[in-house]
Amino acid sequence: MKILVCAKQSPDSTVRVKVAGDGKSVDAAQITWAISPYDEYAVEMALERKDADASTTVAVVSLGAARAKDSLRQALAMGCDEAILVSGPGADALEGLAVARALAKVALEAKPDVVLCGRQASDDDQGLVGAALAEALGWPHVATITKFAPADAGAGSVNGIDVWKEVEGGHEVWRATGPVVLTVQKSEKEPRYPSLPGIMKAKKKEIPEKDVASLGIDASLPRPEMVKMEPPPSRGGGKIMKDGDAKQTAQELARLLREEAKVL
Amino acid sequence: MLPAPGADERALADGVAAYAADLAPRIPAAEEAGAIPRDVIADLGRLGVLGMTVPEEDGGLGASSVAFALVLEEIAAVWPSLAVGVSVNSGITEGTIVRLGTPEQKRRWLPRLIDGSGLGSFALTEPQSGSDAAALRTTARRDGGGWVLNGRKMFVTNLRYAPVVIVLARVGEMDAQRPHAGVTAFLVPTDAGGVVIGRPERKMGLLASDTSPLTLEDARVGADALLGPEGKAFGAVAMAGLDGGRIGIAAQAVGIARGAIDRAAAYALERRQFGHPIADFQLVRNALARARTDIAAARLLMLRAAWLKDRGRPFTTEASQAKLFASEMAQRATRVAVQTLGGYGYMREAVVERMARDARATTIYEGTSEIQRIVIARGMLSA
């Protein structure tokens, strides 16, 4: 089985993000970058399949700024076989639909059996690229999956891919035939740490770079644009009740929770 | 010469740092239980940490001493007990087998010290012989095709996790004029008859690191247990191994100091007194700035010793200097860290409290500070 994972580089989730001077981007100086968490689950899920069947190959593609190469290196160190960077001027400013169209070109060339994407990126939370990629490819899409495996057609033969997805109170199993795009909720295990030999091997691997301009994405198509970014309002001060005995305090607290905070 | 680590060495250390950081929530319970969880040792095997210094042809990664020192620093910055376990396994134990072992000995033991099924162990100290290591009394005598060992060893790190322990014992009578003559190293399987592992010591710090006594009661080992040249292990095994081990302890001390001071700095930015974060106060800034400079100096000494070792050049003095300075520095730095956190720093919940206790061992094991000064002076003053 050949798996292609689409991984976006986004600000590490432990970093405190600040709005930059232009009011519509984040201050890059303060940021350490990492594979977006759901995409990291997708990488782990692909590698779990490779653990189960060593003939599986896992390629990972990232579209964005040149620094995304570091995240691809991380994916290689975790155990992916190859990595592709789609970069060049404007690559990190593409919106979701254009990203999906660009990734579709990469996928058509790579000819995977399965494309895995995280269900959404941790920076814009759009959750668009996976579904739009399926549409651009004309392939089916199953969302928020937790596991996939070759479907057992009996007598040791395999036909299609079984896909598990969480639903309220349980899970469903879907079967897909032919190539499919899956968006990942969570892998069975937490994403693995790269091993030291993995890190050394990854450093020696070439990461081919494609210029996004060469993929023929029509930039004149209608597109939404972010115009403003605002941090959440700073938290107001708390209220300390120090007058009165326990009974009065409790009554006052209940009143405030009901009338001011409106949580009761 | 500037012993700056290369990009590969930094990448390996960063890889281990990412793993170590996520161990943090598990440390208090493991320290309380006095044991490193087996799955953590297994992880270190799987991640390639335990075999990182073993040459590739012997199944390891063949990474440099510089890389290993940086990795130990990263582990110690989070969990010093784990760092000392890795240091003894991958430093002196594997290092001695790689250097002096026969191909058969390497094939038998290295995979088990690399794969995460256990940690290797090294037994030199005895109840009556600490700094005066050459005065050891454990004996080995030939018996048929093999050897019979008798004696007691103290403070053996990793013993409870070890498939094999390198034991230094005396072959023949002690010559008071030449006490180091006759000292011989043996690879003793811990499941051999007559090998008794005693109750783990209860220590001031490094609570999760195993420190146990070893008693050898007519312990019988094969001819293949002899490691390196008979009668010459004091120089070839003990002293040579300790030189490398001292870089490991320097790295551990640098890591402890850094871990403690990072926490103190973060606390100083958050903690407000007199209407200001305490990081605004000059007395706090002064203490933290001195500690940070101390750490940087110790790291350079550590890297210099490791860099020389990687190039096959003499590094005895440099390893002692690194170990001496870094371990003494770690006392000062952890003291500053506890002081910065004030009452909170004295509480068991505080990481700096643990780090301060853990740091204390670093001026003692692998040669006390006094022994390091003797080694350094000998390098200067002997003709």
pLDDT tens for B87-114 read 999 999 999 999 999 999 999 999 999 9
Does some domain include residue A225? no
Does some domain include residue B1? no
Per-residue pLDDT of chain A (264 residues; tens, 9 = 90+): 999 999 999 999 888 888 888 988 888 887 899 999 999 999 999 999 999 999 999 999 999 999 999 999 999 999 999 999 999 988 888 889 999 999 999 999 999 999 999 999 998 899 999 999 999 999 999 999 999 999 876 766 667 899 999 888 999 999 998 899 999 999 999 999 999 999 999 999 999 999 999 998 877 778 888 899 988 888 777 888 877 888 989 998 999 999 988 888
Q: The domain that contains B357 carries what CATH number?
A: 1.20.140.10
Q: A254 with A201, same domain?
A: no
Does some domain include residue A97? yes
Query: How sure is the predictor about B4, in pLDDT bands with cuts at 50, 70 and 90?
Result: confident
Residue in chain A nearest B12 by alpha carbon: A196
Is A199 part of the contact surface with chain B (CB cutoff 8 Å)?
yes
Q: Are B122 and B185 spatial neighbours (Cβ–Cβ below 8 Å)? A: no
pLDDT over 90, % of chain B: 90
Q: Are A63 and A90 spatial neighbours (Cβ–Cβ below 8 Å)? A: no
pLDDT over 70, % of chain B: 99
Q: B45 with B160, same domain?
A: no
Domain boundary at B192, B214, B231, which? B231
Q: Which residue has the higher pLDDT, B3 or B32?
A: B32
- Gap from B11 CA to chain A (nearest CA, Å): 7
Q: A204 with A238, same domain?
A: no
Does some domain include residue A124? yes
Q: A124 with A238, same domain?
A: no
Q: B62 with B83, same domain?
A: yes
Average pLDDT of chain B, as a whole number: 95
Tokens of B172: 């023949």
Q: The domain that contains A146 carries what CATH number?
A: 3.40.50.620
Which ipTM score applies to this complex?
A: 0.86
pLDDT score recorded for residue A153: 67
Does some domain include residue B17? yes
Type and span of the H or E element at B232: none
Provide the number of structural domains found in chain B.
3
Q: B252 with B369, same domain?
A: yes
Q: A255 with A174, same domain?
A: no
**HEC readout, chain A:** CEEEEECCEEECCCCCCCECCCCCCECHHHCCEEECHHHHHHHHHHHHHHHHCCCCEEEEEEECCCCHHHHHHHHHHHCCCEEEEEECCCHHHCCHHHHHHHHHHHHHHHCCCEEEEECCCCCCCCCCHHHHHHHHHCCCEEEEEEEEEEEECCCCCEEEEEEEEEECCEEEEEEECCCEEEEECCCCCCCCCCCHHHHHHHHHCCCCEEEHHHHCCCCCCCCCCCCCCCCCCCCCCCCCCCCCCHHHHHHHHHHHHHHCCCCC
Q: A191 with A244, same domain?
A: no
Number of helices and strands (H, E) in chain B?
Answer: 13, 10
Cα B99 from Cα B118, distance rounded (Å):
21
Domain that holds residue A247: 233-264
Q: B215 with B284, same domain?
A: no
Q: The domain that contains B52 carries what CATH number?
A: 1.10.540.10
Tokens of A195: 């091993």
Q: B72 with B190, same domain?
A: no
Query: How sure is the predictor about B308, in pLDDT bands with cuts at 50, 70 and 90?
Result: very high
Residue in chain A nearest B16 by alpha carbon: A196
Q: A258 with A145, same domain?
A: no
Query: How sure is the predictor about B236, in pLDDT bands with cuts at 50, 70 and 90?
Result: confident
Does some domain include residue B2? no
Q: B191 with B157, same domain?
A: yes
Q: B179 with B279, same domain?
A: no
* pLDDT for residue B382 is more than 70: yes
Residue in chain A nearest B61 by alpha carbon: A197
- Sign of the C-alpha dihedral, residues B283, B284, B287, B289? negative
Domain boundary at B95, B114, B133, which? B114
Q: The tokens 């590490």 sit on which residue?
A: A12
Does some domain include residue A250? yes
What is the model's pTM?
A: 0.88
Does some domain include residue A51? yes
Q: B245 with B360, same domain?
A: yes
Q: B74 with B129, same domain?
A: no
Does some domain include residue A150? yes
Triad B115, B117, B120: Cα angle to 5°: 85
Query: How sure is the predictor about B2, in pLDDT bands with cuts at 50, 70 and 90?
Result: low
Q: The domain that contains B144 carries what CATH number?
A: 2.40.110.10
Instruction: Tell me the catalytic residues of B.
Output: 366
Domain boundary at B204, B231, B258, which? B231
Alpha-carbon separation of residue B254 from A121, B36, B72 (angstroms): 38, 21, 9
Of A77, A196, A200, the CB nearest to B49: A196
pLDDT score recorded for residue B235: 87
Q: B190 with B285, same domain?
A: no
Q: B153 with B222, same domain?
A: yes
* pLDDT for residue B257 is more than 90: yes
Report CB contact under 8 Å: B61, A194.
no
Q: Which residue has the higher pLDDT, B323 or A159?
A: B323
> Picking from A230-244, B264-278, B341-355, which range would have the lowest pLDDT averaged per residue?
A230-244
| Chain B residues within an 8 Å CB radius of A77 | 15
- Gap from B68 CA to chain A (nearest CA, Å): 11
Report CB contact under 8 Å: A196, B12.
yes
Q: A237 with A210, same domain?
A: no
Q: The tokens 């010469």 sit on which residue?
A: B1
Q: A150 with A247, same domain?
A: no
> Picking from A11-25, A135-149, B129-143, B165-179, which range would have the lowest pLDDT averaged per residue?
A11-25
Q: B66 with B187, same domain?
A: no
Alpha-carbon separation of residue A109 from A46, A112, B11 (angstroms): 19, 9, 32
Of B11, B52, B61, the CB nearest to A203: B11
Does some domain include residue B21? yes
Alpha-carbon separation of residue B271 from A137, B22, B181, B344 (angstroms): 55, 25, 59, 11
Closest C-alpha to A145, from A126, A169, A117: A117
Domain that holds residue B86: 7-114
Report CB contact under 8 Å: B48, A198.
yes
pLDDT score recorded for residue B106: 98
Q: A118 with A241, same domain?
A: no
Q: A152 with A249, same domain?
A: no
pLDDT tens for B56-90 read 999 999 999 999 999 999 999 999 999 999 999 99
Is A194 part of the contact surface with chain B (CB cutoff 8 Å)?
yes
Q: A211 with A237, same domain?
A: no
Q: A9 with A138, same domain?
A: yes
* pLDDT for residue B364 is more than 70: yes
Cα B253 from Cα B287, distance rounded (Å):
18
Is A204 part of the contact surface with chain B (CB cutoff 8 Å)?
no
For A76-91, b/e burial (b = at least 16 CB within 10 A) is bbbbbbbbbbbbbeeb
pLDDT score recorded for residue B375: 95
Triad B102, B107, B109: Cα angle to 5°: 95
Provide the number of structural domains found in chain A.
2
Does some domain include residue A155? yes
Report CB contact under 8 Å: A196, B8.
no
- Gap from A191 CA to chain B (nearest CA, Å): 11
Does some domain include residue A226? no
